[in-house]
């Protein structure tokens, strides 16, 4: 855990370079032909894409890590392996460590530019290969959830799915650059640490917002960070099993007291044509596969 000064001055020199140069972000491709060793895709370098294993005829999943993380952080191989173990897809891991390893306030301020850069990369990918936006699923954790929101906005909301895994809360509750329902054809958020002092946003931001176990603390967790990380752990498990079913709620009071009696919807999964709206509570087990 880290103490964070939410009123600190951001590093404007870094922010200026990030906004001018989206090539600061790395795009690492994994497919069933190279499931462990990545191929680097480079924006505005068509040969880097043409000479890779990228297949425009199968879905593309983009994974975006959060603060103080990089391509090797556990979220990336976990979700990558879940997808490649399930079906033939392109998995692109975006490494934006250049900004993500800075202080939190600087990272927050740079998220919109990083997201726009990702959107521009996906536009380039579409131009080079013809891969349609309707076959793209953008998945982001914590600050990465707001990155994929901004990427979806750059694409005009045309990405098939945008998923925010416990979207970061500090400095985002009234931030107009945060993840929102218009960022994709279908936008989903999974809230696992949304308490008053939580690391995630505890309120609705998407078409469908899931609140596992009430959305504030998770079974088997003793820390806020554990609660926060449960979002991507839940998601990876649902890609493989599609087994966590939510019940629609009419209010956050119902979410808190587990009195939701509405229709059901599966949380997470890899369905590109998924649709829904509203808030849902999901009850899970303490440990994998939950």
Q: What is the pLDDT of residues 53-79, one digit of tens each?
A: 999 999 999 999 999 999 999 999 999
**Helices within 87-139 (DSSP H only):** 97-100, 104-129
Among the listed residues 159, 237, 147, the one whose alpha carbon sits nearest the alpha carbon of residue 192: 237
Residue 9 DSSP symbol: P
Backbone angles phi, psi at 152, to 5 degrees: -60, -35
* Predicted confidence pLDDT, tens digits, the chain (290 residues): 566 767 677 777 777 776 666 667 999 999 999 999 999 999 999 999 999 999 999 999 999 999 999 999 999 999 999 999 999 999 999 999 999 999 999 999 999 999 999 999 999 999 999 999 999 999 999 999 999 999 999 999 999 999 999 999 999 999 999 999 999 999 999 999 998 889 999 999 999 999 999 999 999 999 999 999 999 999 999 999 999 999 999 999 999 999 999 999 999 999 999 999 999 999 999 999 99
Give the E-state strand segments of 96-225 in sequence order.
136-141, 161-165, 186-190, 208-212
Torsion sign (Cα): 93, 99, 104, 108: negative
Domain regions of the chain by residue span: 12-282
pLDDT of residue 10: 77
Among the listed residues 169, 164, 166, 288, the one whose alpha carbon sits nearest the alpha carbon of residue 220: 288
**Which CATH superfamily groups domain 12-282?**
Alpha/Beta hydrolase fold, catalytic domain (3.40.50.1820)
pLDDT of residue 18: 67
Question: How, if at all, do strands 278-282 and 264-266 pair?
Answer: unpaired
Assessment of whether the complete model's pTM goes beyond 0.75: yes
Compute the distance between CA of residue 225 and CA of residue 285 in angstroms, rounded to an integer. Answer: 18
pLDDT of residue 57: 98
| Catalytically annotated residues | 142, 166, 228
């Amino acid at each position: 855990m880290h103490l964070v000064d939410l009123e600190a001055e951001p590093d404007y020199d870094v922010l200026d370079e990030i906004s001018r140069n989206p090539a600061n972000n790395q795009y690492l491709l994994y497919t069933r032909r190279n499931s462990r060793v990545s191929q680097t895709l480079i924006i505005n370098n068509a040969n880097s894409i043409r000479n890779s294993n990228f297949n425009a005829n199968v879905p593309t999943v983009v994974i975006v890590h959060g603060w103080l993380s990089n391509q090797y952080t556990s979220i990336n191989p976990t979700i990558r392996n879940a997808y490649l173990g399930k079906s033939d897809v392109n998995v692109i891991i975006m490494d934006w460590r250049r900004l993500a390893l800075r202080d939190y306030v600087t990272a927050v301020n740079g998220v919109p530019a990083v997201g726009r850069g990702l959107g521009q990369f996906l536009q380039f990918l579409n131009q080079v290969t013809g891969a349609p936006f309707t076959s793209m699923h953008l998945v982001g954790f914590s600050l990465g959830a707001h990155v994929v929101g901004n990427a979806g906005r750059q694409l005009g909301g045309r990405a098939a799915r945008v998923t925010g895994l416990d979207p970061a809360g500090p400095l985002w509750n009234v931030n107009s650059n945060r993840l929102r329902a218009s960022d994709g054809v279908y936008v989903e958020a999974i809230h696992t640490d949304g308490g008053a002092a939580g690391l995630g946003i505890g309120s609705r931001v998407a078409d469908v917002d899931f609140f596992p176990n009430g959305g504030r603390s998770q079974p088997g967790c003793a820390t806020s960070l554990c609660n926060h990380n449960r979002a991507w752990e839940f998601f990876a498990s649902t890609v493989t099993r599609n087994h966590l079913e939510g019940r629609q709620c009419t209010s956050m009071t119902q979410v808190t007291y587990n009195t939701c009696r509405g229709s059901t919807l599966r949380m997470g999964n890899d369905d590109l044509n998924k649709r829904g709206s509203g808030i849902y509570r999901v009850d899970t087990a303490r440990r994998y596969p939950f």
